[in-house]
Structure 1
Amino acid sequence: MAETMAGIAADMLTIDAGRLHADIEAVNAIGRIDGVPGINRISFSDADMAGRRWLLARIEDAGLVARMDAVGNVFGRWEIGSGPAVLAGSHLDTVPRGGPLDGTLGVCAALEAVRAMRASGLRPARPVEVVATADEEGRFGGMLGSQAICGEVGPEWIASAVDDTGAGLADAMRAQGLDPAAEVARCPDEIAVFLELHVEQGPVLEATGEPIGVAGAVSGVFNWTVTLTGEANHAGTTPMTLRRDAFRGLASFGAAIDGILARAGGPDTRLTVGKVALEPNFPHSVAGRATFSLIGRDVDEAVMRTVASACREAIHRAAAAHGLGVGIAEQSWLPPTPLDPAVAARLSAVAGGARIMPSGAGHDAQTFARHVPAGLIFIPSRGGISHSPDEWTGLEHIERGATVLARSMAAFALDDSDTSSDGEHLA
């Protein structure tokens, strides 16, 4: 009977949508810059750290134990029950000119869920924690905060990590009073489940009219920086047949992408050249150097490897055709990550039978899923737009998604049985 009553209590849990919206607006006031669109809380910037301090204060206001670890992860713990905790959240850092909900929604909704549980008089069987991870957007590569919590990266990796300007992660952390030499990893046995609410960042839910999705797997990602080196020369005097034009090599590779996808890719494959720099970058000069990013994604690692190999071959073909040198720096390779099927099924049930779908974007949930049961809830993105000032989701979808998160957190917190599908992660 007690279990039945607990389940009914979780199913009836409601959030304060006005308070959640106010929190989202308040934290997004941090990172707005006059004349610059979007939200700008770049990891380890002053705005990023101000956002973390704002969250610490809100956590304390909610009556939780607040702390920030040595790499900048913020935690708010409801010390109740016993055993491993239900951990929920996302991140507060943004890309430059980012949107108002990517990451921020998941953090604010997790805090609101705990406030709703406390206000309703629920007495969970296990502790509940809110988390805002550090540098999820990968300014320095990877997903620092969740990877540090899970023990995937530590001081040695931090000491060598740099951003695309050459700035060191360790220096950026020290400048904000953090400690790049500290160990912050937590034992997996401390975490019963990790849950994350996120905007979809894609068009599927909006196109199908579905209010909620649950991720079954997160795409893997490979991240390369490619440099094609030719010869800078005068644009008027150098015959086309004698040029070693780095831009034309880049353009040839770009034109080959459709063929790569047709031969080697699948329906979930994504290839993106998102950042390009030409040198000398002058209208009357042949480009002597082209440096560009190449990001590949798929939910099948075998497909990823085939696509990566095809990309490498196409880059070398394009370079050879234009007499260019090639340099490929492989910044990172994150394999696809399946999310716990039992957790996904439970989230779908709480949402009333939500679709199970792949996630093309990377999320903290994929890091946690390699170590503990993890689940990821999606709500629609208007126009499928994200990483942009135009990112938005209607308030009715935000309220619905936050309610599903809150009821899911309550369901796992009230249940003191093993939440994983294989029982390996829990005490």
Structure 2
Amino acid sequence: MQVNIERIKQDILALAEIGRNQADRGIYRMAFTDADMEGKRWLQDQIAAADLPCNVDGAANVSATLDGISDGPRMIVGSHIDTVPCAGALDGTLGVVVGLECLRSMRENGIQPEQTIELIAFSDEEGRFGGMFGSHSICGLITPDKLATMKDLDGILLQEEMERQGFDPLKALDAAREPESIAAYAELHIEQGPVLDRMNKSVGIVDEITGLFTWSVWLRGEANHAGTTPMDMRNDAFMGLADFAHEIPRILEENGSDRSRATIGKAQILPGAANTVPGLVEFSLDCRDTSEEKLDELATAFRKALSAIARRRSLMFEFEQKSYLHPVQCSLPLVEKFCKHATALGLDYHRMHSGAAHDAQIMGRMVPTGMIFVPSKGGQSHSPAEWTAWSDIEAGANLMLQTLQDFG
């Protein structure tokens, strides 16, 4: 039994038109916008057309089920259909469409699994409101206080957007599942990086999902006149940032691993005048590794380096941790199932880690989790240039289908 790749194509291309901006060709289907709700309705229509039971929980997670013979713990497959601004057609969407196709294929071929298989399209994986709201809700990690305070970068509250779309925010608390009710969670996703594409591999089988912390960092010096302040009498905050940026490779080499990443992605220099020595810099630091121990070591090393730079340049150093995600080890039995079926299908696969966060990372805190990657052309993602060859999509989808059958 194989998936129907033509049906997958039709679904991906149809959903890509929901939230499409004709000017830049990007998709704007951010969580709880009207386009996101239209996408959810489209998905519910496809589930109904497949004659599968459909449900929308209090967190606006959309699900479909293929009932099993027993009432034991169910297998969940899924991802998300919300997007970042100006997105491509596949991020998240691919995992949902493929999950639905697996359920349709099994049902059409008269296969009733031993245990129920459920597809879930999680809400707000892209974190418009600061977290992976749908999977956090399923895992019981949402509280009334969080619901009341979660807001986007424009200050719009999550609860206001939910109410605007007809949802009672407090019912998101009822979306929580008991861990014992779920056997495992599997997700197919584009890699969002260049590794598989450059290796010319059909699929990646994920063994670890990176953890990460993000900081806001402030280096405070003294603003002064650029022409009258001698170089050796300056407390130049930007020079502190420049020193730290050059320290990052050394810190990763000495304290990290080959899976460590650190990025300064945003910086603001104040007062921001061409003829003024910078008195303040504020910048972000994003650090990732698959080992919690390594993350702790890197955090300590970054603090020490920034403190030393601040002393040397007569600056003040402050930081605030904005977020922390624990690394997740994928379920070894599930990884082995993926590898076994990839070999049986004759797929050239690569075991690898995920450097990006996914709903699987949240689900992995509660239940056994596994992921399949398919290549991203040129490593592109979060842009209209994001794409994957149909042949690779078909390979990943068939691998997911065979693995889900194995659970039945």
1:170-209 alignment to 2 at 5 Å?
A: 170-182=159-171, 183=173, 184-209=175-200
Partner in structure 2 of residue 371 of structure 1: 366
1:42-57 alignment to 2 at 5 Å?
A: 42-57=30-45
Instruction: Tell me, yes or no, if structure 1 residue 339 matches structure 2 residue 327.
Output: no
Shift of 1:93: 1.9
Partner in structure 1 of residue 97 of structure 2: 108
Q: Matches of 2:80 and 2:188 in 1, distance apart?
A: 11
Instruction: Tell me, yes or no, if structure 1 residue 291 matches structure 2 residue 279.
Output: no
Partner in structure 2 of residue 424 of structure 1: none
Q: Matches of 1:315 and 1:162 in 2, distance apart?
A: 31
Say if 2:78 and 2:186, in contact at 8 Å, map to a contact too. yes
Shift of 1:286: 4.4
Shift of 1:398: 0.7
Partner in structure 1 of residue 391 of structure 2: 396
Q: Matches of 2:164 and 2:308 in 1, distance apart?
A: 44
Q: Which runs of 5+ in 1 are unaligned?
A: 1-12, 415-427
RMSD: 2.3
Find the residue that maps to 2:338 and give its secondary structure. Answer: helix
Partner in structure 2 of residue 423 of structure 1: none
Find the residue that maps to 1:311 and give its secondary structure. Answer: helix
For residues 299-347 of structure 1, the C-alpha deviation after alignment (integer angstroms, 9 at most, x for no partner) is 1111111111111222333344444433322122212111110111011
Q: Matches of 1:117 and 1:166 in 2, distance apart?
A: 44
Say if 1:224 and 1:329, in contact at 8 Å, map to a contact too. yes
Partner in structure 1 of residue 60 of structure 2: 72
Per the normalisation by structure 1, the TM-score is 0.86
Shift of 1:142: 3.5
Q: Matches of 2:323 and 2:191 in 1, distance apart?
A: 23
Q: Which runs of 5+ in 2 are unaligned?
A: none
AA partner of residue 363 (structure 2) = F
For residues 69-90 of structure 1, the C-alpha deviation after alignment (integer angstroms, 9 at most, x for no partner) is 2222111223343322221110
Query: Which of residues 411, 415, 427 is equivalent to 2:406?
Result: 411
Find the residue that maps to 1:196 and give its secondary structure. Answer: strand
AA partner of residue 374 (structure 1) = T
AA partner of residue 391 (structure 1) = E
Partner in structure 2 of residue 387 of structure 1: 382
Q: Matches of 2:159 and 2:237 in 1, distance apart?
A: 34
Q: Matches of 1:215 and 1:376 in 2, distance apart?
A: 5
Instruction: Tell me, yes or no, if structure 1 residue 127 matches structure 2 residue 122.
Output: no
| 199-208 vs 234-243, greater mean Cα deviation | 234-243
Instruction: Tell me, yes or no, if structure 1 residue 88 matches structure 2 residue 77.
Output: yes
Partner in structure 2 of residue 148 of structure 1: 137
Partner in structure 2 of residue 7 of structure 1: none
- Label 1:282 to 1:114 Cα distance change in 2 as closer, same or farther (>3 A): farther
Shift of 1:405: 1.1
Query: Which of residues 203, 209, 219 is equivalent to 2:210?
Result: 219
AA partner of residue 31 (structure 1) = G
Shift of 1:271: 0.6
AA partner of residue 296 (structure 1) = C
AA partner of residue 36 (structure 1) = D
Q: Matches of 2:257 and 2:232 in 1, distance apart?
A: 37
Q: Matches of 1:166 and 1:311 in 2, distance apart?
A: 31
- Label 1:387 to 1:334 Cα distance change in 2 as closer, same or farther (>3 A): same
Instruction: Tell me, yes or no, if structure 1 residue 316 matches structure 2 residue 294.
Output: no
Say if 2:67 and 2:113, in contact at 8 Å, map to a contact too. no
Partner in structure 2 of residue 418 of structure 1: none
Shift of 1:248: 2.9
Find the residue that maps to 1:352 and give its secondary structure. Answer: helix
| 53-62 vs 30-39, greater mean Cα deviation | 30-39
- Label 1:164 to 1:81 Cα distance change in 2 as closer, same or farther (>3 A): same
Q: Matches of 1:198 and 1:97 in 2, distance apart?
A: 18
- Label 1:368 to 1:285 Cα distance change in 2 as closer, same or farther (>3 A): same
AA partner of residue 215 (structure 1) = V
Runs of 4+ in 1 over 6 A off after TM superposition: none
Say if 1:142 and 1:332, in contact at 8 Å, map to a contact too. no
| 241-250 vs 41-50, greater mean Cα deviation | 241-250
Say if 1:348 and 1:355, in contact at 8 Å, map to a contact too. no
Q: Matches of 2:181 and 2:123 in 1, distance apart?
A: 20
Shift of 1:297: 0.8
Say if 1:141 and 1:331, in contact at 8 Å, map to a contact too. no
Partner in structure 2 of residue 118 of structure 1: 107
- Label 1:71 to 1:287 Cα distance change in 2 as closer, same or farther (>3 A): farther
Q: Matches of 2:99 and 2:333 in 1, distance apart?
A: 21
AA partner of residue 17 (structure 1) = I
Q: Matches of 1:208 and 1:246 in 2, distance apart?
A: 42
AA partner of residue 254 (structure 1) = A
AA partner of residue 83 (structure 2) = T
Shift of 1:262: 1.6
Say if 1:141 and 1:332, in contact at 8 Å, map to a contact too. no
Partner in structure 2 of residue 160 of structure 1: 149
Say if 1:351 and 1:404, in contact at 8 Å, map to a contact too. yes
- Label 1:24 to 1:331 Cα distance change in 2 as closer, same or farther (>3 A): same
Shift of 1:132: 0.9
Q: Percentage identity across aligned positions?
A: 43
- Label 1:270 to 1:37 Cα distance change in 2 as closer, same or farther (>3 A): farther
Q: Matches of 1:325 and 1:176 in 2, distance apart?
A: 46
Partner in structure 2 of residue 259 of structure 1: 250
Shift of 1:275: 2.5
Partner in structure 2 of residue 41 of structure 1: 29
